Amino acid sequence: MKICHDLESCTGCTACRHICPVSAITMRENSEGFLYPKVNESLCVHCGRCVQVCPQNHVPTYYAPRAVYAVKHRMQSVRERSTSGGMFTALSDWILDQGGVIYGAAFDEAFVVSHIVADNAIERNRMRGSKYVQSVLGDVFAHIESDLRENRYVLFTGTPCQVDGLRNFIGKAHHKLFLVDIVCYGTPSPLLFRDYIQFIQKEYQTDIRWYTFRNKKASWRTGKSFLELENNKAVSKEKTEIFDRLFWSGNIIRTSCYACPYTKPIRISDITIGDCWGLEKILPTFEDAYGVSLCLVNTKQGERIFDEIFQAIECHDISNSLEWQQPRMQSPTERPIAREAFWRDYHRKGFLYVARKYTHWNIFRITIRKIRFVLHRIFG
């Protein structure tokens, strides 16, 4: 059974695995560390439901934003612990107040990124902050379906492809399901991040106590990865930024990301959140060191929850400006010329070799990418 019309376009959303009535589909890791569906032909009954549910076999249903806002949570302590302005916390707090559940990406104790469920603020707080690794969805879609049957409020946050997969699996809009997607650059390989964590722990002969992809100690705009070791040794800037540089090189993201159909200003979720880049040109007095969220309200369901959280946030309508349209809301990440060479080197010579070669060899390309990004924010 061939599920996706083109394997390279598969996002790993797990909709096919969840919809299979005979559990004939499992998710298997490929040589780059990404999960893809594998069909057990001896179990398959050829019902075709996996083909029907696959988002890549259909043109997505898009929604033009009804309103676009620059948002800050009213509590500075929330923004200090968030990637940008704390919009996710405001949304999820309301769901928790209704006795609902939150699904989002979080680290486990081994720094594997997976989607978890939370029915309290402590567990929800694990979902705060960016995760620049493709998350493992596991049985999340099935759990959400069960929660909705029990008439619980559900908030799901994820990449656009994960949201589209869930929406196809559920099949129709549900008044207690709220879908939130993020502005996504591309999903990096869990295998490479796993290698990076192991490299740091071996290099410093200790475990990692804490890791964040976006550290706000200086400013939310200059945030880079930051980690703390159990033995309190300092990690060099060069080694701390290895994974950042691999990520920004574009070599380690999933192949489907280079042709992503969701990199548009029109969206597939109820609410879209991200960093509010370009704010200095629209509302310079609203910006500060603690971060501001971009919030696109795309549907009536999105308007409903936005109205409910209004007292928890400060916001300004920026719908009339085009500055909020970031590069990854206009086109996908470009496929690097060196991608095939990178993975060939990785499989032949290992993580340390590509970390040394491509985080330095590619530093000019990364700098050019960042310059282009900054120039786009300044000049459009």
- pLDDT tens by residue, 28-47: 999 999 999 999 999 999 99
Q: Pick from 280, 224, 270: which is nearest to 247 by CA?
A: 224
Give tens-digit pLDDT for 101-138. 999 999 999 999 999 999 999 999 999 989 999 999 99
Residues 6+ apart with CB under 8 A from 310: none
Distance, in Å, from the CA atom of 117 to the CA atom of 101, rounded to the nearest integer, reads 7
Specify the pTM. Answer: 0.92
What integer pLDDT is reported at residue 361 of this predicted model? Answer: 46
Give the pLDDT band of residue 242 (cuts 50, 70, 90).
Answer: very high
Let me know how many helices (H) and strands (E) the chain has, helices first: 15, 12
The candidate with the shortest Cα–Cα distance to 321, out of 73, 90, 65, 72, is: 65
For 252-311, the pLDDT digits (tens) are 999 999 999 999 999 999 999 999 988 888 899 998 888 999 999 999 999 999 999 999
User: What token pair was written down for 202?
Assistant: 């071996």
